[in-house]
Amino acid sequence: MADAPATSGFKVLFEAEGVNKSKFRNDVAVHLRGSHAVSYELPTDEGGIHGGDGSAPYPLAYFTSSLTACVMTQIRAFSKRLGITVNGFTVNTRCHWEARQVGNAPYESAPIEFTMDIAIEGPASDADKRRLVAAAQKGCFVEQSLKPGLVKHRLLCDGQWVSV
């Protein structure tokens, strides 16, 4: 009987502190903990329609960017691990929510669907590109934090968008 492959793992821990002093402006300090510790200042605000000043990106802009960049990072990282040549790629993400309000009660939000259109340039076969996208989906911390099946992926294969 063959030995099982060795497994290894690592943990990722981010912590954040947010401060709001007026209106909708939030000043958030985000920290990656551990041996490669780093901190970032990520302010958020809302636009005038919600009572903010538009002085910083909306919180959902960070979410959409995080989902997109996470999958993109995994595509690049895993292309090397899987030996799949990738010359370049684009990812276009659409995050769609709805908000429902009854009377004067605060609204309740719900995701409708998140879609990602991925076009990978290079000599890899469509089967290898599919394998790469599947690995990126499983390796993306942001996507794995969401309700299973919420994010839908399409890959450009021979000029046609196909679900992966």
For the segment 9-49, what is each residue's pLDDT rounded down to a tens digit?
A: 889 999 999 999 989 999 999 999 999 999 999 999 999 98
Per-position pLDDT tens, the chain of length 164: 567 777 788 899 999 999 999 899 999 999 999 999 999 999 999 999 889 999 999 999 999 999 999 999 999 999 999 999 999 999 999 999 999 999 999 999 999 999 999 999 999 999 999 999 999 999 999 999 998 888 999 999 999 999 99
Q: What is the rounded CA–CA span in Å between residue 102 and residue 147?
A: 25
Domains, the chain, ordered by start: 11-57 (no CATH), 58-164 (3.30.300.20)
Rounded (5°) CA angle 127-132-137: 125
